C-alpha cells in the first residue's frame, strides 16, 4: 500500500506545472511592512457536532490535528499607511458573529488600526471542525445550537494570530508565483457546468491555477507563505469523528514542518496558509462517485443509484479517507513549495481596500450583468429541495435527489410549517422548488442577508473576498468582472493578478451561475437569493473596483444583524468525572507493549476526564517523548497536532472516561526509547496528571505483507479479494465456505472481545451478534449506549459484538473504532446485499472460534431497537434450567412462503429448486442456544454447499432444516415494523408493553436519526421503572 501511495503522490507531483507568471519583466519591488503569526483555535474535541456535513451523529470523539488561525498583515509604509489583514482559519467558514467580535477586541487593543473594512477572515472549509459558532439557525441547528466555548476559541485564536503578526511587523517584500496543479480536484456537478454558455473558453471544468505569495524581510529572512487553490475540505468524510483540518490543514502542517524543521507544530516562526478560493463545485474525491452497492457509475444528472441518493458516494485517491487527505494535502504542499522556491516576481507597491455591506435580498441588478439581458431583482433567501439531497461528497437523507425542479406534496406541506412561500417568492426563485423559505422566518435569523463585500489591492494583486462558496464558473466570471473594471479604468497591466478568497467574513451558502441554477443540483438549490445572485455580486464588485481605482469612498451600507446575545443552545455542559470503584484517575487500562517495529501503532489507555473541561489552547493533550542517552533527558518530538498521533476519548458507563493515545510509528523511525504522555483532565477540582508509558522501537525489514504487532507474536492479516471465488473455484472444490471466511482484525489475545475469565466466574453469557454496515458508526454508538451495553444481570453476562463487512472507504475508521471499543469484527466480505447471508454465517462461525462458551446467542441488525429486559426475563423464565430440552431457534416463524424468482429477493432454481421455503423466522431478531450454533456451522461444512443470499430464510430455514434444528415461536413477545407507517419506535414501545423489538426506517434505506435510539431507550427504562444503576444489579424486573 505504501508503494501505491507513493506512486499516487509522484504522479500527482508530475502534474504540477508552472504557467505564465503575472509579469515577464520584473517591475520595481514594492516595499511593505509585513508580519505573520498563528494561534490555536481548536474547540471542544468531544461530544460536540461537527460543522460541514450537517450530520448530527458526526460528533467528536477526539483529535487528529489542532486547528490554527494564520494571520498576515501588509502595511504600505507610505502615507496614508494603509494596511490590510488576511487570516486563514482551519474552520468550515468565517462567520459574521466571529468577525464582529474579533474587530471589537482588536479595537480595544489598537483603536481604529484594524476595522471591518481592512480585516479579512477566510475559512479553509474543513468539515471536521467543532461546530456551533455561526450564530444563525441553519448552521447551528445540527449541533443543537450555539457552542460558546468553540466560538470563544475561534475569536481568541484569530485575535491572538493577528497580535502575533502585528508584533512581527518588519520591512519586507512579497513575491508572487502562479502555477497549475492537475489531478487534485474534480467537478462534482458536471451536469450543471455543461449548461454554462462560456465553458468552451476554458480547458477544464475546475480551476487548476494555484497562486503563491512569498513573504520575506529585507534581509531575506523567510516569514511566511499564502496559497490560493480551490478544493473542498471533504477528503475526510462524514464518518470521521476526529477534529482535523482536512487536506488544507495537512498541507499547512507539511509546509510549516518543512520550514520549521526543529519546532513542534504551531511553535515555529514561519507561517504557511493554504487559503480557500472558488471551491463551490470542486471536490478532492478524484476517484469520482460510484454506487456503493454495485460499484457502477451514478446517474449523471441526479447522482442517484436506482433512485437512491444515499448510495452515490465519491471517493478520494487513497484507499482510506485519511490516505486521501494525505495525498490531496501533499499535492498542494509540493506544488506550493516548488512555486515558493522558484518565485522571482515581486508585487509592486501600494495597499488599498474597499468594503461595503449589502442587503442581498433587495438588489436591483442591471441588465449589463444578467445572463438574460434584463433588469432583475434578487429574492428573499430560500433553499431548494436539492439542498437536502447533499452532494456526492456527503449525501443527504430521506427521498431528496439532486436536480429536483418540481415540489413534492409531502415536503411542501412540511416546509410550510417553517414559512409558507408566497406566489411572488416561488416565481422569483423559479425553477427552484422551495423547501426552506428561510428569508421569511422571523424574528430570528436563519441565514444572513446583509453581507460584507470586500476588495483588496496589494501592489498588482487584487483579492476578491466573497462571503460564500462560488462555483468554478462563478469564480471565473467574478474575476473577469473585476478585470474588466480595471481595464476600463486603465489600471490593468500585464503584471496584474486576481485571486478569490472564499468563505470570507460571513457565510451565505453557494453562488452558481444563472445556467447552473437551472439544473438545481445541490449548489443551485443552496444559492439563497435566486437565479441572479451572481449577477448581483458582479454588479457590486464592479462598483467596488471602480471606487478603489478612482480613489472614491462608498457608503458603508446597512448594518448586519449582530447575533451576539441572541443565539439559542441546547448543548449540555460536560458531566463531572468519575472512575470505577478501586480505580483512580490516571490508572492505565491498556498499557503499551515493551517494543514495537517501525510501521506499528502504539496504543495506551487511561482513566481520565472529559476533554471539554479544558481546551488546552496552545498546548497538547498528548506528547511523544524520545530518550536522549547522551544527555539523559527526555525530548518531546510529537504532540496532538502531529498527523502521526491520535487523541481519543470514550465515555463509559455514566461518568467514566477512557483516554487513548495512539502513535502511528513511521517505518523509518529512529531506533530508541520512547514514552507517551497524556494530560489527564478531570473535574471535581481541576487536576493535571502526567501519565507516561515507555516502550522501545526496533527496525524491521521490508515486507510485502501487512503485519500487526502484539507483545508476544505477530498476526498476519489480509484483505478480502473480491474475485477470490471466481479465480480459484477449480482449486477450492474440496474447501467449504466456512474455511474461506477471513477476519481482518483477529482478536487481541491481551484484550479479547470475549474474555475467557468471565466463563470461569460462573456467568452465563448472552452474546448479542449485531450485523452492521461498516459506515453505520452512529448507530453502533447509539446501540452501545442503550440496549447493547455490556453488563451483568445476576448470573447473566450480556456481551454485544458488531460484525461489519470490508468497505475501503471506512476501513481505517472501522479499525480505529475496534481499537477504541473492542467490539467490532471486520469480515473479509464486501458490504453488498448478496453477501448478507455470508456475513450472518460468518458471525456464527466467529462465535464458535472465539467465544464458544457463550450459552445464549441473539442475532439482531443495527436498525432495530429492543427491550433487553424482556429478553432477559424470557431466558430466565423459559431457558435457564431447560437448555437441552428447548435447544433450537426462537423467533416469529413464517410458513409456506413462496420462493421469489423475479425481484430483489429472487433465488434461481439452481440455488433452491422448491416452490416454498421451509419455516423460517423474520431476520428482525432471533435467539438460539450454543449447541444450535454448532449444528448450523457443521451443516454448512459441506463441499459445494450453496449459501442463499436471503439471510433469514437461509440461516433459520434452509440451514436449520439441514442441521435438523427445532424451531419455537417466542411466547408473549411481539415485534413491529415502523417503516410501514409514520410512527417512530418509541410510540410503539410506549403503547405496547409486550413489544420486544422494533425495526426503524433505516431498514428500507431511510437513514434515520440515531437519537431515536435514546428516546426509545428512555421509554423502555421508564416502563420497567429502572435506570442504569439498577440495570446492572437488580435481580428481578
Class of residue 194 by CB neighbours under 10 A (exposed 0-12, middle 13-18, buried 19+): middle
Mean pLDDT of 77-106: 95
| Rg from Cα positions in the chain | 30
Among 508, 493, 415, 419, which Cα is nearest to 459's? Answer: 493
Q: DSSP letter at 334?
A: H
- The number of angstroms, rounded, from the C-alpha of 508 to the middle of its chain's C-alpha atoms is 21
| Coil, helix or strand at residue 166 | helix
Highest mean pLDDT among 103-112, 647-656, 658-667: 103-112
In angstroms, rounded to a whole number, what is the distance separating the alpha carbons of residues 66 and 39?
10
What whole-number percentage of the chain has pLDDT above 90?
52
Q: What distances in angstroms separate CA 887 from CA 551, 936, 972, one per listed residue? A: 90, 12, 19
Lookup: cell for 182: 492537475
Q: Is 326 assigned to a binding site?
A: no
Among 258, 233, 283, which Cα is nearest to 333's? Answer: 258
Mean pLDDT of 980-992: 76
Lookup: cell for 799: 456481551
Q: Is 945 assigned to a binding site?
A: no
pLDDT value of residue 539 = 98
Lookup: cell for 434: 422551495
DSSP letters, 729-793, are GGGGTTS-TGGG--BSSPPPTTS-SS-THHHHTTPEEEEEEEE--TT-HHHHHHHHHTTT--EEE
Query: What is the per-residue pLDDT across 701-759, written as a single tens digit (0 to 9) for each?
Result: 222 222 222 222 222 222 223 233 233 333 333 345 555 566 665 555 556 787 665 55
Whether the CB-CB separation of 393 and 234 falls below 8 Å is answered with yes
Q: DSSP letter at 411?
A: H
In angstroms, rounded to a whole number, what is the distance separating the alpha carbons of residues 701 and 334?
29
Q: What distances in angstroms separate CA 178 from CA 21, 95, 209, 570, one per listed residue? A: 5, 29, 7, 47
**What does the angle CA 169 – CA 170 – CA 176 come to, to the nearest 5 degrees?**
95
Backbone angles phi, psi at 229, to 5 degrees: -155, 135
pLDDT value of residue 412 = 57
Is the pLDDT assigned to residue 177 strictly greater than 60? Answer: yes
88-97 burial code (b ≥16 CB/10 A, e <16) = bbbbbbbbbb
Locus of grid cell 454485544: 800
pLDDT value of residue 26 = 55
Mean pLDDT of 304-308: 88
pLDDT value of residue 734 = 38
In angstroms, rounded to a whole number, what is the distance separating the alpha carbons of residues 38 and 226?
13
Mean pLDDT of 793-809: 84
pLDDT value of residue 703 = 25
pLDDT value of residue 853 = 86
Of 51-60, 861-870, 897-906, 922-931, which range is least confident? 897-906
Q: Is 838 assigned to a binding site?
A: no
In angstroms, rounded to a whole number, what is the distance separating the alpha carbons of residues 531 and 431?
9
Residue 208: CB atoms within 10 Å: 21
In angstroms, rounded to a whole number, what is the distance separating the alpha carbons of residues 15 and 250?
20
Of 270-274, 700-704, 996-1000, which range is least confident? 700-704
What whole-number percentage of the chain has pLDDT above 70?
83
Query: What is the per-residue pLDDT across 214-265, written as a single tens digit (0 to 9) for each?
Result: 999 999 999 999 999 999 999 999 999 999 999 999 999 999 999 999 999 9
Among 206, 516, 533, 526, which Cα is nearest to 390's? Answer: 526
Half-sphere exposure of 395 (CA within 13 A, CB side): 29
Whether the CB-CB separation of 455 and 356 falls below 8 Å is answered with no
Among 448, 419, 585, which Cα is nearest to 509's? Answer: 448
Kindly indicate the confidence band of residue 837, based on its pLDDT and cuts at 50, 70 and 90.
confident
| Coil, helix or strand at residue 874 | helix
Cite the beta strand spans of 874-1027 per DSSP E. 889-891, 893-894, 920-921, 925-929, 967-969, 974-977, 995-999
Which residues are 227's β-sheet partners?
212, 274
Tell me the angle at which helices 811-821 and 321-341 cross, rounded to the nearest 10 degrees: 120
Locus of grid cell 443540483: 521
Kindly indicate the confidence band of residue 810, based on its pLDDT and cuts at 50, 70 and 90.
confident
Query: What is the per-residue pLDDT across 900-919, written as a single tens digit (0 to 9) for each?
Result: 777 666 777 767 778 888 89
Whether the CB-CB separation of 84 and 174 falls below 8 Å is answered with no
Peptide bond preceding 475: is omega within 30 degrees of 0, i.e. cis? no
Domains of the chain are 2-22+31-363+445-549 (no CATH), 588-714 (2.60.40.2300), 758-894+921-1031 (3.90.550)
Q: Which residues are catalytically annotated?
A: 283
Lookup: cell for 629: 542517552
In angstroms, rounded to a whole number, what is the distance separating the alpha carbons of residues 513 and 193?
9
- The number of angstroms, rounded, from the C-alpha of 600 to the middle of its chain's C-alpha atoms is 25
In angstroms, rounded to a whole number, what is the distance separating the alpha carbons of residues 469 and 196?
17
Of 32-36, 276-280, 431-435, 791-795, which range is least confident? 791-795
pLDDT value of residue 645 = 96
Class of residue 700 by CB neighbours under 10 A (exposed 0-12, middle 13-18, buried 19+): middle
Which residues are 686's β-sheet partners?
683
Output the 3-class SS for 191-250. Answer: HHHCCCCCHHHCCCCCCCEEEEEEEEECCCCEEEEEEECCCCECCCCCCCCEECCHHHHH
Q: Is 709 assigned to a binding site?
A: no
pLDDT value of residue 367 = 96
Q: With the C-alpha atoms ordered 104, 105, 110, 113, is the resulting torsion angle positive or negative? A: negative
Of 163-167, 472-476, 727-731, which range is least confident? 727-731
Kindly indicate the confidence band of residue 407, based on its pLDDT and cuts at 50, 70 and 90.
low
Adjacency order of strands within the sheet including 450-458: 351-359, 450-458, 461-465, 497-501
Q: What is the pTM of this model?
A: 0.68
Amino acid at each position: 500500500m505504501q508503494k501505491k501511495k507513493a506512486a499516487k503522490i509522484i504522479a500527482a507531483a508530475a502534474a504540477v506545472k508552472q504557467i505564465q507568471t503575472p509579469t515577464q519583466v520584473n517591475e520595481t519591488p514594492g516595499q511593505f511592512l509585513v508580519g505573520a503569526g498563528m494561534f490555536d483555535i481548536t474547540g471542544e474535541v468531544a461530544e460536540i457536532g461537527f460543522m460541514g456535513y450537517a450530520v448530527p451523529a458526526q460528533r467528536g470523539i477526539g483529535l487528529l490535528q489542532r486547528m490554527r488561525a494564520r494571520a498576515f498583515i501588509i502595511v504600505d509604509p507610505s502615507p496614508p499607511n494603509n494596511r490590510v489583514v488576511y487570516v486563514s482559519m482551519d474552520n468550515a467558514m468565517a462567520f459574521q458573529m466571529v468577525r464582529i467580535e474579533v474587530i471589537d477586541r482588536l479595537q480595544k487593543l489598537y483603536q481604529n488600526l484594524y476595522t471591518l473594512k481592512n480585516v479579512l477572515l477566510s475559512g479553509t472549509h474543513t468539515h471536521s471542525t467543532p461546530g456551533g459558532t455561526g450564530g444563525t439557525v441553519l448552521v447551528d441547528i445540527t449541533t443543537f445550537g450555539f457552542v460558546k466555548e468553540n466560538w470563544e476559541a475561534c475569536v481568541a485564536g484569530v485575535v491572538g494570530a493577528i497580535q502575533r503578526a502585528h508584533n512581527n511587523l518588519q520591512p519586507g517584500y512579497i513575491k508572487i508565483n502562479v502555477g497549475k496543479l492537475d489531478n487534485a480536484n474534480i467537478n462534482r456537478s458536471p451536469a450543471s457546468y455543461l449548461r454554462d454558455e462560456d465553458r468552451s473558453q476554458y480547458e477544464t471544468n475546475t480551476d487548476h491555477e494555484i497562486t503563491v505569495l512569498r513573504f520575506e524581510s529585507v534581509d531575506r529572512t523567510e516569514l511566511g507563505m499564502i496559497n490560493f487553490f480551490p478544493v473542498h475540505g471533504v477528503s475526510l468524510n462524514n464518518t470521521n469523528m476526529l477534529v482535523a483540518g482536512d487536506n488544507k490543514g495537512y498541507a499547512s502542517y507539511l509546509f510549516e514542518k518543512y520550514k520549521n524543521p526543529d519546532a513542534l507544530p504551531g511553535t515555529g516562526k514561519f507561517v504557511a496558509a493554504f487559503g480557500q478560493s472558488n471551491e463551490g463545485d470542486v471536490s478532492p474525491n478524484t476517484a469520482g462517485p460510484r454506487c456503493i452497492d454495485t460499484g457502477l457509475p451514478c446517474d449523471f444528472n441526479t447522482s442517484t443509484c436506482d433512485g437512491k441518493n444515499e448510495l452515490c458516494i465519491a471517493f478520494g485517491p487513497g484507499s482510506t479517507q485519511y490516505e486521501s487527505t494525505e495525498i490531496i494535502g501533499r499535492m498542494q504542499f509540493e506544488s506550493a513549495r516548488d512555486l515558493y522556491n522558484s518565485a522571482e516576481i515581486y508585487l509592486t507597491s501600494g495597499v488599498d481596500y474597499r468594503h461595503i455591506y449589502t442587503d442581498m435580498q433587495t438588489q436591483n441588478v442591471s441588465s449589463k450583468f444578467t445572463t438574460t439581458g434584463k433588469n432583475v431583482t434578487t429574492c428573499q433567501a430560500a433553499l431548494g429541495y436539492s439542498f437536502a439531497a447533499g452532494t456526492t461528497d456527503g449525501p443527504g437523507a430521506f427521498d431528496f435527489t439532486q436536480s429536483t425542479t418540481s415540489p413534492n406534496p409531502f415536503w411542501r406541506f412540511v416546509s410550510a410549517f417553517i414559512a409558507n412561500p408566497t406566489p411572488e417568492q416561488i416565481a422569483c426563485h423559479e425553477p427552484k422548488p422551495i423547501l426552506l423559505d428561510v428569508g421569511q422566518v422571523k424574528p430570528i435569523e436563519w441565514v444572513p442577508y446583509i453581507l460584507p463585500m470586500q476588495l483588496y489591492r496589494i501592489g498588482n494583486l487584487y483579492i476578491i473576498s466573497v462571503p460564500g462558496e462560488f462555483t468554478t464558473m462563478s469564480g471565473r466570471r467574478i474575476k473577469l468582472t473585476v478585470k474588466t473594471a480595471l481595464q476600463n479604468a486603465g489600471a490593468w497591466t500585464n503584471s496584474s493578478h486576481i485571486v478569490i478568497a472564499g468563505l470570507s467574513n460571513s457565510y451565505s451558502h453557494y453562488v452558481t451561475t444563472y445556467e447552473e441554477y437551472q439544473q438545481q443540483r445541490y449548489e443551485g438549490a443552496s444559492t439563497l437569493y435566486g437565479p441572479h445572485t451572481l449577477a448581483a455580486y458582479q454588479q457590486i464588485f464592479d462598483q467596488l473596483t471602480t471606487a478603489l481605482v478612482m480613489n472614491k469612498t462608498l457608503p458603508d451600507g446597512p448594518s448586519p444583524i449582530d447575533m451576539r446575545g441572541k443565539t439559542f443552545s441546547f448543548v449540555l455542559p460536560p458531566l463531572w468525572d468519575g472512575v470505577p470503584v478501586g480505580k483512580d484517575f490516571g490508572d492505565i487500562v491498556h498499557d503499551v507493549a515493551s517494543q514495537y517495529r517501525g510501521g506499528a501503532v502504539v496504543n495506551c489507555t487511561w482513566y481520565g476526564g472529559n476533554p471539554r473541561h479544558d481546551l488546552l489552547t496552545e498546548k497538547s493533550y498528548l506528547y511523544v517523548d524520545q530518550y536522549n542517552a547522551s544527555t539523559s533527558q527526555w525530548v518531546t518530538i510529537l504532540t496532538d497536532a502531529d498527523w502521526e498521533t491520535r487523541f481519543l476519548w470514550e465515555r463509559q458507563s455514566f461518568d467514566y472516561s477512557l483516554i487513548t493515545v495512539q502513535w502511528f510509528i513511521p517505518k523509518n523511525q529512529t531506533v530508541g526509547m520512547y514514552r507517551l504522555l497524556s494530560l489527564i483532565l478531570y473535574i471535581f477540582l481541576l487536576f493535571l496528571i502526567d501519565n507516561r508509558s515507555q516502550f522501545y522501537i526496533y527496525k524491521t525489514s521490508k515486507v510485502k505483507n501487512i503485519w500487526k504487532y502484539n507483545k508476544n507474536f505477530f498476526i498476519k492479516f489480509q484483505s478480502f479479494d473480491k474475485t477470490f471465488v471466481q479465480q480459484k473455484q477449480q482449486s477450492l472444490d474440496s474447501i467449504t465456505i466456512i474455511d474461506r471466511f477471513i477476519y481482518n482484525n483477529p482478536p487481541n489475545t491481551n484484550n479479547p472481545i470475549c474474555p475467557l475469565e468471565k466463563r470461569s466466574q460462573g456467568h452465563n453469557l448472552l452474546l448479542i451478534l449485531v450485523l452492521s454496515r461498516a459506515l453505520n458508526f452512529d448507530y453502533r454508538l447509539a446501540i452501545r449506549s442503550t440496549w447493547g451495553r455490556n453488563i451483568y444481570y445476576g448470573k447473566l453476562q450480556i456481551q454485544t459484538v458488531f460484525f461489519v463487512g470490508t468497505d475501503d472507504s471506512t476501513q481505517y475508521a472501522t479499525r480505529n473504532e475496534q481499537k477504541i471499543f473492542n467490539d467490532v469484527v471486520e469480515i473479509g466480505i464486501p458490504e453488498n446485499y448478496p453477501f448478507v447471508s455470508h456475513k450472518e454465517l460468518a458471525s456464527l462461525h466467529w462465535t464458535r472460534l472465539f467465544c464458544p462458551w457463550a450459552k445464549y446467542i441473539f442475532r439482531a441488525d443495527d436498525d432495530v431497537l429492543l427491550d433487553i429486559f424482556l429478553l432477559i426475563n424470557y431466558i430466565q423464565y423459559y431457558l435457564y434450567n431447560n437448555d437441552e430440552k428447548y435447544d433450537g431457534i426462537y423467533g416469529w416463524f413464517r410458513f409456506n412462503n413462496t420462493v421469489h424468482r423475479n425481484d430483489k429477493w429472487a433465488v434461481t432454481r439452481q440455488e433452491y429448486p422448491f416452490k416454498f421455503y421451509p419455516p423460517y423466522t423474520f431476520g428482525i431478531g432471533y435467539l438460539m442456544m450454543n449447541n444450535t450454533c454448532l449444528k448450523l456451522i457443521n451443516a454448512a461444512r459441506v463441499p459445494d454447499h450453496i449459501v442463499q443470499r436471503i439471510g433469514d430464510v437461509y440461516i433459520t430455514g434452509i440451514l436449520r432444516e439441514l442441521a435438523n434444528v427445532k424451531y419455537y415461536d417466542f411466547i408473549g413477545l411481539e415485534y413491529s415494523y415502523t417503516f410501514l407507517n409514520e410512527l417512530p419506535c418509541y410510540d410503539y414501545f410506549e403503547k405496547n408493553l409486550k413489544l420486544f423489538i422494533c425495526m426503524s426506517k433505516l431498514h428500507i434505506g431511510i437513514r434515520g436519526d440515531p437519537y431515536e435510539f435514546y428516546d426509545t431507550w428512555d421509554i423502555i427504562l421508564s416502563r420497567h421503572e429502572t435506570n442504569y444503576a439498577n440495570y446492572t444489579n437488580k435481580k428481578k424486573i
